[in-house]
Chains A and B, each alone.
Chain A
Amino acid sequence: MKLTFRIGAQAGAGVMVTGRMLGRCFTRGGYGVLAYPEYPSLVRGGHNAYQIRISDNGVSSPLTKCDVLLALNKDAIFYHKDAVVDGGLIIYDEKIDIKEFKLGKKIEEVALPIEKILKDAGANPKMANAVQIGAALAAIDYPIEIFEKVLKDEFGRKGEEIVNKNIAVAKAGYDFVKSKAKPVRDVKPLSRKRRMLVGGNEALALGAVKAGLKMYSAYPMTPASSILHYLFAKEREFNIVVKQTEDEIAAMHYAIGANYTGVRAATGTSGGGFALMTEAMGLAGLSETPVTVFLVQRTGPSTGMPTWTEQADIRFALHASQGDFLRCVIAPGDINECFTLSAEALNIADKYQIPSIVVSDKFLSESYFSTEGFDENIKIDRGKIAKDLSALPPNTRFERYKITKDGVSPRPFPGTKGGNYVATSYEHNETGFSSESFSMRKAQVDKRARKEEYLLKEIPAPKVYGDKNADITIVAWGSMKLPALEALHRLKQDKISANLVHFTFLYPLDEKKVNSVLEKAKHTIMIENNSTGQFAGMLKQYCSWEPNFLLLKYTGRPFYAEEIVEEVEKLKKAGFKGKKEIRVLDKEDLEYYNPQRYGL
């Protein structure tokens, strides 16, 4: 069973809350859920849309089509009417003049009297969300009682009256749709454990906290802000310190200062903020101070399209700051990897005393995903900490930057007797004192570089999903795992043999490990959410590997599974001949920023 809802409304109408609550009704029924929001960089005035996909097995990609459309204003009909499949249903606010639009003949429609329902119940306009969710559930004959429980949990602290009114209008919406249309599908809760519905950014935050994050400093920037919001909301429960700083320069220096002092600290931002953090990347590199950055990509360069997705910042993550130094770049591909790899990034930063960058993107970070639970066995590894030191001879310092075999030297936390040293942005000798000696310079550069060999040992090979001997191999990194997996599922139905090779560890890359996986592939199609194939370039540079085809999409949306399937099938039909680079454009070319241009 797979089913897709779309909700469309003007910006500011509360679509995000509606989408999440509707999603929760299904995770409570044991379903897999993906809730994917789309909105312009406006607080009011543009169009917002939410896709809620549910499935009894996996679900991971937004789709171009939907089964049920909830249209809360005229714009929503205009934007989404063509997405509704035959046999689908449109539930719209009765105030919309639907006659203006040409709808498919096999699509049913119900005009929902939202205002009347609210008025009859003496409810306030904010409760329209509940009416819509009630109506949506009726469309698939899903028990309204589950939603009643969600409302109780969500609004319980606001008092019984609010809860009861919400329930009353939800039921009225439910009953109304039931009386007007027959359900498009019959969906019942599954007899299995309820799941969590978690946002990608929340999972990053939770993974870090589980790994001992004690301080988070950041400056607000879409689409990374919800890490900051979530950690602030839980600051006292988690017993951590969260700091909104004056800018990203400060945010990064706070994270470095805190790590130097001995607490696990991280910062997070998007590309523009990371540009401001660049100088401090080098500071962490040279002073060998662990630090973790969550880099949540959006459509760039510059301000770009702030609320849309892209995967075009990994070269930036890889090269940010002057000079040569090691860093680790990690890109989780799904909600559970957000949790575990966020924790892993903190461990890697501490163990190797380097910056680690967790690369996510708007699609992964601001969507909500179901999960059965997170890994509870996260290990905390602080690396080499110098403790219980003997007293230093007078007027001398601890050898914090001692030349070691694995390049990592024990670091004392300030306050440790016998450990005084200076962490520094200058090249230095073993105690941290500035040095421009050629031999010391070379020794320190080599020491820092030696860490790579040890780090590579613990970096896993890319993971293979699906039949190991498949004819076609899709290669993807980070969040593109999600549409790729959905595409595999559909290709299998179409009897096309394909698998996925997915990278989460993007840098450093181990040529042998990577090639041991990729050399088995027959026809390779790499997908990236950018316009230049940044990771394909890295694979060529570091692993001397090139895909046969490079599928690129950089419109602001993630790949939709159907788009991958379509291109793969085309390539197969053409006998895998043709231009190497294929650029994908969304079928519906509609912008949400400016409904006025369509006369809306």
Chain B
Amino acid sequence: MMTVKITDFDVKEKMQWCPGCGNFGLITAVKGALADLGKKNEEVVMVTGIGCSGKSSHYVNTYGFESLHGRTLPVASAVKLANTRLTVIAEGGDGDGYGIGIQHFIHIMRRNYDLTYLVHNNEIYGLTTGQASPTSLLGMKTKTTPWGVIETPFNPVLSAINGGATYVARGFSGEPAHLKELIKGAIEHKGFSLVDIFQPCVTFNKLNTYDWFREKVYKLEDEKHDPKNKKAALEKAEEDKKSDYKRCPIGLFYKEEKATYEDLLPQIKDKPLVDHELKINLKKAYEEFM
């Protein structure tokens, strides 16, 4: 087998994010994970939404679909259903996935499609220049919360464990090597995997900076957290808030083996839908109308 290099996933176009943006570390981790797993360019589909995160599908040289704001998951779901051979990665931001597209997030977890969802969670709206996001912390001042956020922040990790996701992790783009391993685990996991990623927005979020995260994050595996233990995972998922944001765990919170949605469809057991013969004899169906 020919080895796959991380540079195989580069594109010649320049990545246009703000200097120091957390997306650089994140995309390096994604490409590294794909290379480590020996994925070929053509067997991967990156589906993104709109926002700074949405550009990712352009910067990783695989097949891509830059869809609409909040709609990464329904597009990615259909790509997987249509061709189960493909490695499908959906990427979006916190506004995209936890705001405008949250209904898709809640429902995809019930379905357990075999695909990976990476959320660039910078706790702010970046591309629209600095409004509050569903994960902005209480009291944070933004253009749309001049007196501070008064809505409880959405907790994606807690919601994912409760919602039925079968691989729930959180990474930090300031720790790309660690993040890469989480993404590899997510891609290899058979079922729906969420990797929520602390990804500092250096331009619009002056609160949740690299230094802010570095002070607080610690790795779950360093404290011997057992990802099969759901109760412990739920407790860890609430640690940010309970510790008053002094300790924010990253790593694999929860993992469960479960049949995927695709496994339960006999229609695609033998071959992916995209390989099906299209010609069909409807004689039997017509009989029922006679």
Chain B 71-101, CB-CB to A under 8 Å as 1, else 0, gives 1011111110111011000000000000000
Partner of A263 from the list B76, B107, B273 (CB cut-off 8 Å) is B273
A432 to B13, alpha carbons, bound, how many Å? Answer: 12
A204 to B209, alpha carbons, bound, how many Å? Answer: 55
A261 with B274: CB separation less than 8 A: yes
Q: Which residues of B contact A434 (CB under 8 A)?
A: 55, 58, 66
Spell out B's residues near A (CB within 8 Å): 7-8, 10-13, 40-43, 45, 47, 50, 55, 57-58, 61-68, 71, 73-79, 81-83, 85-86, 103-104, 106-107, 265-268, 273-274, 276, 278-280, 282, 284-286, 289-290
Task: Mark the stretch among A58-66, A139-147, A194-202, A589-597 that contacts chain B.
Answer: A194-202
Q: Which residues of A contact B81 (CB under 8 A)?
A: 215, 241, 243, 254, 258
Sample of 20 A–B contacts (CB below 8 Å): A196-B289, A197-B289, A206-B282, A206-B285, A209-B280, A215-B81, A237-B285, A246-B103, A246-B104, A250-B71, A253-B71, A254-B74, A254-B75, A257-B47, A261-B45, A262-B82, A263-B276, A264-B278, A419-B63, A422-B66
Question: Which 5 A/B pairs are nearest by Cβ-Cβ distance?
Answer: A257-B78, A212-B278, A422-B64, A253-B74, A261-B82
A263 to B66, alpha carbons, bound, how many Å? Answer: 19
Q: Which residues of B contact A194 (CB under 8 A)?
A: 290
Chain B's nearest CB lies how many Å from the CB of A258?
A: 4
Q: Which residues of A contact B57 (CB under 8 A)?
A: 422, 424
A241 with B65: CB separation less than 8 A: no
Q: Is A544 an interface residue (CB 8 A)?
A: no
Q: Tell me the nearest residue of chain B to A262, going by C-beta.
A: B274
Chain B's nearest CB lies how many Å from the CB of A397?
A: 7
Q: Is A531 an interface residue (CB 8 A)?
A: no
A420 with B63: CB separation less than 8 A: yes
B64 with A421: CB separation less than 8 A: yes
> B13, B65, B78, B284: which has the most chain A beta carbons within 10 Å?
B78
Q: Is A373 an interface residue (CB 8 A)?
A: yes
Q: Is A395 an interface residue (CB 8 A)?
A: yes
The total of Cβ contacts below 8 Å across the A-B interface reads 200
A28 with B290: CB separation less than 8 A: yes
Chain A's nearest CB lies how many Å from the CB of B147?
A: 32
Q: Is A465 an interface residue (CB 8 A)?
A: no
A214 to B265, alpha carbons, bound, how many Å? Answer: 13
Q: Which residues of A contact B10 (CB under 8 A)?
A: 395
A518 to B47, alpha carbons, bound, how many Å? Answer: 48
Spell out A's residues near B (CB within 8 Å): 27-28, 194-198, 202, 206, 209-212, 214-215, 217, 234-241, 243, 245-247, 249-251, 253-258, 260-265, 279-280, 283, 287, 373-374, 380, 394-397, 413-426, 432-434
Q: Which residues of A contact B284 (CB under 8 A)?
A: 237
B45 with A425: CB separation less than 8 A: no
Q: Which residues of B contact A265 (CB under 8 A)?
A: 78, 82
Given contacts A415-B43, A423-B65, A423-B66, contact A238 B274 (CB under 8 A): no
B83 with A215: CB separation less than 8 A: no
> B50, B64, B76: which has the most chain A beta carbons within 10 Å?
B64
Given contacts A28-B290, A380-B279, A425-B66, contact A257 B74 (CB under 8 A): yes
Chain B's nearest CB lies how many Å from the CB of A182?
A: 32
B273 with A241: CB separation less than 8 A: yes
Chain A's nearest CB lies how many Å from the CB of B15?
A: 12
Q: Tell me the nearest residue of chain B to A213, going by C-beta.
A: B278
